[in-house]
Amino acid sequence: MRTLRLAALTLSLGTLATTGCLLLSGQFVVTYALPDPLTLVAGSTPTGVGVDLNTISEYGDHKDDLKRVDDLALIGDFHNGTGGAANVEAWLVPSATLGLTVTQVMQQGVLLWGPLGIAANATEHVDWNRSSGLFKGRQALIDEVKGDGHFALYLRTSSTLNLTMTKGAVIAVIAAAK
């Protein structure tokens, strides 16, 4: 009987101590709107944009306490204005260098997301839920969010010259604890 009471007390105190540490944590959503519209150009010069999460207050407020990245998304509406199908990919360049060629992006960057197939003269809406299934380089973005939060995002299309992205954004759910 005494052992049982001791075990119950140990369990209670242990649980409270453990959950006490965990209580001072939370999940916070960081959103970064991309330039709108964003024109994707085929050929040797992909479209690149700089992303600096440090300009977002939710990120700055919790960056020092950031422990984990729980969820990621790259959302937007992708319109293919040509008569042929196209594929879109997003590449992440950790150095945040802009103006790179396709070859340089592929050498210095990581395939982050895609390919997203878009039919001729069609628009594909990629929401948060759909975006989750398109990620290829999730760890690269996690590393950036947990790192300096500054990187370049390149959008690359297969062949079309008339493709635009509107309402684009990068989203991260970060877990922070004191």
Please select the residue that binds other proteins; options are 42, 51, 71, 90, rule is CB under 8 A. Answer: 71
Q: Is 139 in the site for other proteins (CB under 8 A)?
A: no
Nearer to other proteins, 102 or 134 (CB): 134
Nearer to other proteins, 74 or 105 (CB): 74
From the number of C-beta atoms within 10 Å of its C-beta (0-12, 13-18, 19+), residue 16 rates as: exposed
Please select the residue that binds other proteins; options are 43, 54, 123, 127, rule is CB under 8 A. Answer: 127
Q: What is the 3-state secondary structure (H, E, C) of 110-175?
A: EEEEEEEEECCCCEEEECHHHHHCCECCHHHHHHHHHCCCEEEEEEEECCCCCEEEEEEEEEEEEE
- Residues forming contacts to other proteins in the complex (CB under 8 A) are 1, 3-4, 7-8, 10-12, 14-19, 21-23, 25-29, 31, 33, 36, 67-68, 70-71, 73, 75, 127-133, 135, 167, 169, 171, 173, 175-177
